[in-house]
Amino acid sequence: MVAAHREAGTTGCLPTLITDRSEVIERLAATAQACLKIPGVHGFHLEGPALNKSRKGIHPEAEIRVPNGRDLAAIKSFGDCGRSVVTLAPECVPVFMIDELISAGLRVAAGHSDATASEIGQVVDRGVSGVTHLFNAMSQLNAREPGLVGAALGDDRLFAGIICDGIHVDPTGLRIAFRCKGRDRLMLVSDAMPLAGTNDRQFMLQGRQITLHDNRLTGPDGTLAGAHLTMIEAVRNAVALAGISLVDALVMASRTPAAFLGLESELGRIAPGYRADLVAFRPNFEVVGTWIGGVASERG
């Protein structure tokens, strides 16, 4: 996974586990420290299982749940695994659980949520700092209830990740998000699924066939199933679809995610004292080389 995405300009990532059984979370937890030795792995993203079933997206409804003691212990262990993130629906878990996750060293993001703006404001006060996949699988901005979208756009304390593939979010929505959040709070994310870096057109996800057609990944019922997107493509699309400057798009792909993860003093700038995680690409966005910690990839 890391090698494939490095070829497409990603020098740091959070491998993601979506909603699954307790034993699957524990299996990842058991190998997490070893995975951190792979250059480019900064931590992990646990997307679920504490989601709102009404905003489940492709996540398996049968496994969506409030974490029990076993789940919570496994999830909290990721607080010692680099800079890891948990996505949850704040309205679906007790507040003590959010407090425990943050105290364990995890970043907590709101996503797959039907929360009101007021509910989001309350958990942001407690330390929730991110929004996963802005506009997708969340309560929308309406006249009398701003929802999670409105809270994300209006609260400068929140970082927001956005999938810039031209499918998950309309270009107008991208432009609105950029105007509201700016380059220092809006982050480009790939949300990439296993087909990235391959020529395959299908894969199995928890027993369901996911098919790629016209750059769109869907399950059997047509539900979007992640994205077929690399980071260099996200940067290119931000420029081409939303009219964002190349400099701002690059900040959204590097310095801003680093700040969200608490790595702003190490990554995201080309400056003395910062780690030399670098990407070289041509004007047509073809990646020609990458370096992690100053060490070139074979391609570089």
- List the chain pLDDT tens, one digit each, 300 residues: 999 999 999 999 999 999 999 999 999 999 999 999 999 999 999 999 999 999 999 999 999 999 999 999 999 999 999 999 999 999 999 999 999 999 999 999 999 999 999 999 999 999 999 999 999 999 999 999 999 999 999 999 999 999 999 999 999 999 999 999 999 999 999 999 999 989 999 999 999 999 999 999 999 999 999 999 999 999 999 999 999 999 999 999 999 999 999 999 999 999 999 999 999 999 999 999 999 999 998 754
| CATH placement of domain 2-272 | 3.20.20.140
Coil, strand or helix: which one is 126?
Answer: helix
Q: Give the pLDDT of residue 299.
A: 56
Q: Which amino acid is at 114?
A: D
Measured CA to CA, the distance from residue 284 to residue 75 in angstroms comes to: 41
Instruction: Output the six-digit token pair for 265.
Output: 């003093």
Q: Which residues pair with 18 in a beta bridge?
A: 47
Q: Which residue is listed with tokens 């586990």?
A: 17
Q: What token pair was written down for 79?
A: 């607080």
* Contact present, 105 and 128 (Cβ < 8 Å): no
Catalytic-labelled residue, pool 71, 155, 165, 191 = 191
Tokens of 252: 């959204």
Question: Residues 6 or more apart from 263 whose CB is under 8 A from it?
Answer: 42, 83
| Active-site residue, 277 included | no
* Whole-number pLDDT of residue 8: 92
Q: What does the angle CA 199 – CA 36 – CA 64 come to, to the nearest 5 degrees?
A: 70
Q: Is 118 exposed, middle or buried (0-12, 13-18, 19+ CB in 10 A)?
A: exposed
Query: Tell me, what's the pLDDT at 300?
Result: 42
Q: In this structure, which amino acid lies at residue 65?
A: R
